[in-house]
Amino acid sequence: MKKLLVANRGEIALRIMRTAREMGLATVAVYSETDREALHVRYADEAFLLGPAPAAQSYLAIDKLLDVAARSQADAVHPGYGFLAENAGFARAVNAAGLVWVGPHPEAINAMGDKVRARQAMIAAGVPVVPGATEPLRDVDDALRAADEYGLPLALKASGGGGGKGLKVARTRAEIESAFTTVVREAEAYFKNPAVYVERYLDNPKHVELQILADKHGHVVHVGERDCSLQRRHQKLYEETPALVSEPVIERLREAGLRAAKAIRYDSVGTIETLVSGDDFYFLEMNTRIQVEHTISEMTSGLDLVREQLRVAAGEPLGFKQNAIAFRGHAIEVRVNAEDPAQSFQPAPGTILTYREPAGLGVRVDAAAAAGTTIAPDYDSLIAKLIVWAPTREQARARLRRAIDDYTITGVPTTLGFLRALSDAPPVADGTYGTATLEAFARTWQASQALRPQAADGAGSSVAPADVVRVEVNGKLFAVRLIDRPQSAVPERVPFGPAAAPRPSGRRNANGPASTGNDILSPMHGVVVEFPVAAGDAVREHQVVAVIEAMKMMNEIRAHRAGTVVALHARLGETVEANAPLVTLR
């Protein structure tokens, strides 16, 4: 390989290009019209426009990506994560064009891309799976029979799904029909595959994943496990390694993960995801790509996983065995998103005004952000990944708290203040947390934030209050809060000392009342993915009347009062603007 096209954007594109540059590879960036000034575009040796902001017309357009590869004379393609990273058709198209695909062979992607087929493959390989069906459900009656066989609560999942999309939990038999209908609709809308399967839902297990590295010569090793249990809406926010489960479970999980990779002849970087409940673990899915949280495995192993992925793609053997990988210390990653945690993690696109990253021993930031960077509503809300390493977990947690305090972002709300509070939550401090912990903590934290004064500018960012200025008296610097001054007379604020926790932004809560009067409005720009009500339906106060996808987040829109639906103002799949009417009541 001499020239690498990175078919992605943002921090992962920049991260891949940095390793490629160290390896002497030229890099090619692609971008949408929205990303014309993005940092990954500026960093690359060459950059090519794909098209308008919507991903379907840019980052998901296989023909355009292959055209750029030909025009730039790239000889390899790295898909990053998300977008086309787990698209077997794209992998085949890259190979057919005579290019090197930096990822596993297409058959492995296919084997793990469909959850039903993946369960079948793991059962054949002797890897434990969550009790459930190994064939798609035909109808609601099949789901009801599954409830009798496997018990409640029951998880209904889209066979082609992932990341929380196409997933509903039925805790009673009465909820099964609605859950089945909803998941089938989402599966068709998101994945063009209406197949749905069912498995027993585990309450508050640990979500533990194993990092796999394999070459094209039959060598497979693991690079440790990660605890990814702290999630909101099945999206991870906080990950750490080593995972906080017993050593016997880790040993069996590692052995099963290696067996699973060998069973599908895996030949790249990948992740085996499991659920751990007590002394048992169950296969959940396999991600056939570089993972967002690969960074913490790098910090404890000393391996550059992107470098190894590129070497494997070029046909090189790993060159080392399992016992050559020495794990040291403890690492934690948190995701800094442009979301408002005080408003149920509502996505908050906008322009970053001030940006200052933390630094120091054991601190790493993977980002593609700077002052002036726009977080566009067309893509996910990730601003950066903050990673820390230390010899022990307690030292790593202390370093994380310090690094969060040192991180300054203004202009958009972020998850920083929430993550700072989360790091001190008792289940996080003692490591007993599970997949239900974060959302339970978030409800308590959000209630506490509701009692705080509103931010003066509505930004809710991790900065000093707008009425605080810096004053120097006798050579000593003070942060002074002004009172009884007109707002227009307050000087421009300057962050001082540890960042204050974010305060509510004043935007409408996507999971709470969105409107007054007869119209229920969309609180954000996004795509309508669900309308669980129809004209003539009676709705209760706080009942979900629509679901809007914005920046890869599902946002439930609830009725602000009881009433009867008079009209729906949008169609499924339609993009709506902020403050556009969705439902009218009478």
CA 145 to chain CA mean position, Å: 33
Superfamily of domain 131-200: ATP-grasp fold, A domain (3.30.1490.20)
Tokens of 16: 């891949």
**pLDDT score of 514:** 52
Helices (H), 44-175: 62-72, 88-96, 106-113, 115-124, 140-150
Fold of domain 206-444: D-amino Acid Aminotransferase; Chain A, domain 1 (3.30.470)
What does the alpha-carbon distance between residue 198 and residue 249 come to, in Å, rounded to a whole number?
25
Which residues in the chain land under pLDDT 50? Answer: 455-464, 488-513
Q: Are strands 100-101 and 76-78 parallel, antiparallel or unpaired?
A: parallel
Angle at 522 between CA 518 and CA 526, to 5 degrees: 160
**pLDDT score of 49:** 97
SS3 188: helix
**pLDDT score of 531:** 85
Helices (H), 73-225: 88-96, 106-113, 115-124, 140-150, 176-191
What does the alpha-carbon distance between residue 19 and residue 306 come to, in Å, rounded to a whole number?
7
CB 116 within 8 Å of CB 158? no
The class that CATH gives domain 519-585 is mainly beta
**pLDDT score of 159:** 84
**pLDDT score of 470:** 83
| pTM for this predicted structure | 0.82
Q: In which residue are the tokens 């509701």 written? A: 450
CB 420 within 8 Å of CB 401? yes
**pLDDT score of 475:** 78
Angle at 38 between CA 33 and CA 40, to 5 degrees: 120
Q: Where are the chain's structural domains?
A: 3-102, 131-200, 206-444, 519-585
**pLDDT score of 556:** 79
Alpha-carbon distances of 456 from 345, 351, 412, 447, 504, rounded to whole Å: 20, 18, 13, 19, 10
User: Containing H/E element for 223?
Assistant: strand 220-232
Tokens of 267: 């030949």
Residues 3-102, CATH architecture? 3-Layer(aba) Sandwich (3.40)
